[in-house]
Amino acid sequence: MRIALAGNPNSGKTTLFNAITGKIEYVGNWPGVTIARKEGDVKKALNKGGSKIRVIDLPGAYSLSPFTTEENITSEFVKNENPDVIINIIDVTNLSRSLFFTTQLLELGIPLVIALNKSDLLKKKGIVVNSLVLEKQLGCPVMETASTTGSGLLELIEQAKIVYGKTQSAPFTGYSKSASGQAADDKLKHERFAFVNQLVKEVEMRKVASSKQTIQDTADRIIANKILGIPIFGAIIYLVFSLSQTYLGPLFADYLVGWIDTLYDYTEGLMGAEVSPVLSSLLLDGIIGGVGAVMGFLPLIMVLFFLLALLEDSGYMARVAVVMDRYLKKVGLSGKSIIPMVIGTGCAIPGVMATRTIRDERQRRTTAMLTPFMPCGAKLPVIALFAGVFFSDAAWVGTSMYFVAILVIVVGALIVQRITNEGPSKSYFIMELPDYRLPSLKRALISMMSRAQAFIIRAATIILVCNAAVHIMQTFTWSFQVVEPGMENSSILASISSPFALLFIPLGFGVWQLAAAAIAGFIAKENVIGALAVVYGLTNFIDTEEFELVAGAGDVASVMGLTSVAALAYLMFNLFTPPCFAAIGAMNAEMDSKRWLWAGIGFQLGVGYTLAYFVYQFGTLITTGSLGAGVIPGLAGIAAFFSIIAYLIRRNDQKLRHDLKEAV
């Protein structure tokens, strides 16, 4: 038996899907989280008969006449793939909006069970729904459920089994159904709305009028305010970074780093002196040291992920979307562009994928180009490393990276708008704000553990392989001789990285070791840490006292040969240049244009380089009174980048004028 879960956005479909299948799919307290269908089997505890029941979670839809791509997925599935039963999930606190879609689903003839979800909120909101009357009027079973607590799920599955194989009648019989054309369609919609409104009057009783201002409305006036919203967002992100990087994170990180050091020492002791230094160094410094350096950040980012999950679950991130929406619309992006960017803070790949909900091709491609600027989960350990070792765990480093990202996105969107010659577009994005709620610790823990597991797997696979490769390339020359002490510049790694290092002189990090780490970051951003650990022979970035033990350096800066300003420039270069290859692949798929893809990569490279250049040069000027090395060559490179942009803008302006003349 195949059951399709269908319903309006943010009605709790994925939460219900997770509850009945035992899966851990990504859920968010805002509409539009699910953009593709997901499948799973009903878990044994809810499936008494034992026969296999397949459940398909579909993206949210308001109607069977699709307006967006994800609505199209839902519409196509229920119409063409013949599920045996449809479970229509309805947000019971928002009945009138949900039943429009229900009446359409009932017309398909497929047996339908209605899940009145979020029923646990009814009492709190002072709403009474007579499910028996609703059941009678609609002609299908109606069950009260609460997917967050698991209430009513067993009965829901049992009802689905009962209706399986039966026929379904439709209660709504609008007289315009037989007619065709736009006018008839509009009339049919009005009739359907009238039917739904009448039905809601019969079954629902609200003690509090929906038009009355609630505490939530008052809170939204402040939190989602166009002026106050931004400093509030800044303060919250600052708090999140402070807790994860300054207070809670390092507390746990010290233990983990201690264990990694113990493993290092134990392995070293086990090998003894008889093992070749090349092999022992590969195992100790390349594999254990490199992966260990990345793993040391696990507690910090676990705390960060936990806090971000709490924020998402509370409904706050949807407010951030509303605050940012008005700014993005002004620079020619769709109001929907904010959703991919918020998702991109977790991982750029699903963020880029989420751009598919944007209908306008130019806006979709622009959003796919700009979304990777948001600091994703893989970039967080890099931020933590630099904030920790160069800025004494200052929370402003991480916070400012989010604001720089937003600024880059806004300016980038403006530039693309000018290049593609589009005026400010009208975008009627209406985002339904979910209610604020006390975030679930369980959901935040699940989210945190899922991301932590991902982090560990990445450290044990792609980062391990890259670190081993970096170590081997650093150990041998091109003639495959072991590099002599003091002759590190003759290694394979040094010879590959050195030409790139020349380009980085104006940015303050023109040494091959840092260039090699930055290049490794294009495979996966966490690789920056692993590669730095390997090339500098460090295993522990958490306890900064270790730096003093390495190379006899008196401070952290001299180990890497970086000033704090250059370190900030290096961090910005790594954050704002193109994302990892996997995310570039997603950009390629969504943009569906090689020209846009290469333009996007070029733009990201130019932005990353420019930001790093100005941070280093101005920072050096402020801190030392003189500009850093390579001012003129760097400026020439940046001038070339902006000349190309200016040329493209000018070319399009001319084209526009030409088109206008022809039109006149």
3-state secondary structure of 117: strand
* Contact with other proteins (CB under 8 A) among 350, 375, 398, 600: 350
β partners of residue 146: 151
- Is residue 524 involved in binding other proteins (CB under 8 A)? yes
- Residues from 592 through 651 that contact other proteins (CB under 8 A): 592-593
Which of 13, 38, 418, 443: binder of other proteins (CB under 8 A)? Answer: 38
Cα→Cα distances 324→25, 36, 228, 229, 370, Å? 26, 25, 12, 9, 14
If one asks whether residue 256 binds other proteins (CB under 8 A), the answer comes out as no
Min CB(455)–other proteins separation in Å: 7
Indicate which single residue of 114, 304, 307, 349 sits in contact with other proteins (rule: CB under 8 A).
349
Q: Is 260 in the site for other proteins (CB under 8 A)?
A: no
Which residue in this structure is represented by tokens 């509850």? 19
CA 366, CA 332: separation in Å to the nearest integer? 9
Closer residue to other proteins (CB): 332 or 350: 350
Q: Does 36 bind other proteins (CB under 8 A)?
A: yes
Among 115, 468, 493, 529, interactor with other proteins by CB under 8 A: 468
Site for other proteins in 67-126 (CB under 8 A): 69, 73
Of 200, 256, 462, 635, the one binding other proteins by CB under 8 A: 462
- Strand, coil or helix: 602: helix
Among the listed ranges 21-29, 113-121, 134-142, 505-513, the one in contact with other proteins (CB under 8 A) is 21-29
Q: How far apart are CA 282 and CA 475, in angstroms?
A: 9
State the nearest-atom distance from the C-beta of 52 to other proteins, in Å.
13
Q: Which stretch binds other proteins (CB under 8 A): 164-172, 451-459, 560-568, 607-615?
A: 451-459
Interface residue with other proteins, options 188, 283, 410, 635 (CB under 8 A): 283
CA distances from 480 to 108, 206, 473, 477, 483 (A): 69, 79, 9, 5, 9
554 to 583, contacts with other proteins by CB under 8 A? 580, 582
Query: Is 39 near other proteins (CB under 8 A)?
Result: yes
Span interacting with other proteins, options 127-135, 136-144, 256-264, 453-461, rule CB under 8 A: 453-461
Nearer to other proteins, 249 or 350 (CB): 350
Instruction: Give φ, ψ of 231 to 5 degrees.
Output: -65, -30
C-alpha–C-alpha distance, residues 58 and 656, integer Å: 43
- In the complex, least distance from residue 451 CB atom to other proteins, rounded to whole angstroms: 6
Q: Which is nearer to other proteins, 338 or 468 (CB)?
A: 468
DSSP string, 252-311: HHHHHHHHHHHHHHHHHHHHTTTS-HHHHHIIIIIIIIHHHHHHTTHHHHHHHHHHHHHH
**Which among 507, 502, 473 is positioned nearest to 490, based on CA atoms?**
473
CB of 253 to other proteins, least distance (A): 20
Tracing tokens 């924020």 back to the chain, one arrives at: 311
Question: With binding defined as CB under 8 A, does residue 364 bind other proteins?
Answer: yes
Sole binder of other proteins in the list 347, 384, 413, 511 (CB under 8 A): 347
Nearer to other proteins, 59 or 619 (CB): 59
Using the contact rule CB under 8 A, the part of the chain among 105-113, 280-288, 504-512, 541-549 near other proteins is: 280-288
In sequence order, what are the residues at sequence separation of 6 or more whose Cβ sits closer than 8 angstroms to the Cβ of residue 591?
Answer: 364, 365, 368, 369, 597, 600
On whether the CB atoms of residues 572 and 611 are closer than 8 A, the answer is yes
Contacts of 621 (CB under 8 A, 6+ apart): 627, 628
Which residue, 343 or 431, has its beta carbon nearer to other proteins?
A: 343
Question: Roughly what angle, to the nearest 10 degrees, separates helices 581-591 and 361-370?
Answer: 170
Least distance to other proteins, CB of residue 38, Å: 5
**How many other CB atoms are found less than 10 A from the CB of residue 340?**
29
Residues sharing a CB contact under 8 Å with residue 130, sequence separation 6 or more, in sequence order: 202, 203, 204
Q: Which of 341, 586, 611, 615 binds other proteins (CB under 8 A)?
A: 586
Nearer to other proteins, 335 or 377 (CB): 377
Q: Token pair for residue 213? A: 């201002």
CA distance 579 to 377: 12
SS3 28: coil
Can you tell me which of 108, 133, 271, 410 binds other proteins, judged by CB under 8 A? 271
Tell me which residues touch other proteins (CB under 8 A). Answer: 23-26, 35-40, 69, 73, 271-272, 274-276, 279-280, 282-283, 287, 346-347, 349-350, 353, 356, 364, 450-451, 453-458, 460-462, 464-465, 468, 524, 580, 582, 585-586, 589-593
